[in-house]
Amino acid sequence: MMKLSIRAWEELGIAPPYLPAFYEEESLKAQPVLTPPAQDSSNRSGPKASSVNRIGAERPRPSSIKAEPHLGSPPAIKPSGPAMVSTPEHLAEIAKLDWDRMNKAIEACSACSLHQSRSRIVPGVGDRQATWLFVGEAPGVEEDQQGEPFVGPAGILLDSMLAALSLSRMQDVYIANVIKCHPPDNRTPVSVECHACMPYLERQITLLQPKIIVALGKVAAQSLLNSDINLGSLRNKVHAYGNIPLIVTFHPAYLLRNMPEKGKAWADLCLAKKTLNQA
């Protein structure tokens, strides 16, 4: 097989055939079958039990990957209900937070009901000076237990999407979700929850100042773009979050269920890379 560089494949707009997982359905099929589905963090929008691969459970984690710490010290901010989040005073408080104080504030947040059912907050993971920001929807069961985004099956696919771009969550990438607490039963977060949590993501973006944002799935795309346009119409375009270019692609959990769409996701990632290179 001809071995071109990732850059050459990107220029051709074709998925590199030698890369694992993200491109090669067979390499995913070769994995043992995942059980049980109820514990699958991608359950909300991920594959059905019979087709899910056990690609998350025993994944080795490089020791250098650090999820945002969970600080037990007193909260910086104590929102008492949804109305608190939308007050200008509260938004102004969030807008002043640094990384560590924001993590404490999220820990203490009770702005929506999701704080009641979560085990751990899942603020984000990665390089705080990252060029790339990937934004997902909300933590699943495994993320809730580990306090790190995308550690379940969808996370493995996200890692291979990053690898296809010669990236990794260890370097030059930050991964966050719109929602920082796990929704019960892996349900899709409702808009009041997204609105309550968005100021934290907005603050993360301000602190991070990424050069490119990739929105993974509908919830991330619609929340970041403040839009109700469907995902299909949002894809394949260069949007902007403030002055930061933003590309919309499928959620990795959706891709696990719909492998043929991986080619489209690769095209989205190529568009993101091209946009970044041109910036």
Distance CA 170, CA 153 (A): 18
User: Contact, 94 vs 199, CB < 8 A?
Assistant: yes
Those residues with Cβ within 8 angstroms of residue 180's Cβ, 6 or more apart along the chain or in another chain: 106, 109, 121, 122, 123, 139, 197, 200
Q: How many residues bind ligand URA (CB under 6 A)?
A: 14
Residue 253: φ, ψ to 5°: -65, -35
Are 139 and 149 contacting, i.e. CB atoms less than 8 angstroms apart? yes
Q: Which of residues 207-246 bind ligand URA (CB under 6 A)?
A: none
Taking CB under 6 A as the rule, does residue 53 contact ligand URA? no
Question: Rounded distance, CA 194 to CA 112, Å?
Answer: 9
Contact status: 150 vs ligand URA (CB under 6 A)? yes
Least spacing, CB of residue 139 vs ligand URA, in Å: 5
| Residue (of 34, 213, 261) closest to 140 by Cα position | 34
Q: 56, 139, 183, 199: which one contacts ligand URA (CB under 6 A)?
A: 139
Residue number with the smallest Cβ distance to ligand URA: 136
Stretch that binds ligand URA, among 11-19, 31-39, 131-139, 207-215 (CB under 6 A): 131-139
Question: Helix (H, G, I), strand (E, B), or coil: what is residue 137?
Answer: coil
- Indicate whether 138 belongs to the interface with ligand URA (CB under 6 A): yes
Query: In angstroms, what is the minimal distance from the CB of 80 to ligand URA?
Result: 27
CB atoms within 10 A of CB 39: 16
Q: Does 160 bind ligand URA (CB under 6 A)?
A: no
Stretch that binds ligand URA, among 19-27, 56-64, 149-157, 233-241 (CB under 6 A): 149-157
Of the two residues 154 and 212, which places its CB atom closer to ligand URA in the complex? 154
- Minimum distance from CB of 104 to ligand URA (Å)? 20
- Whether the link from the prior residue into 36 is cis, omega within 30° of 0, is yes
Query: What whole-number distance in Å separates Cα of residue 189 and Cα of residue 113?
Result: 11
Q: Residue from 43, 53, 103, 177 that binds ligand URA (CB under 6 A)?
A: 177
Task: Pick from 79, 136, 210, 245 the residue near ligand URA by CB under 6 A.
Answer: 136
One-letter amino acid of 14:
I
Q: Does 147 bind ligand URA (CB under 6 A)?
A: no
Q: Compare residues 177 and 222 and give the one whose CB is closer to ligand URA.
A: 177
| Nearest 10 degrees: Cα torsion 209, 210, 212, 217 | -100
Q: Which residues bind ligand URA (CB under 6 A)?
A: 41-42, 136-140, 143, 149-150, 152, 154, 177, 253
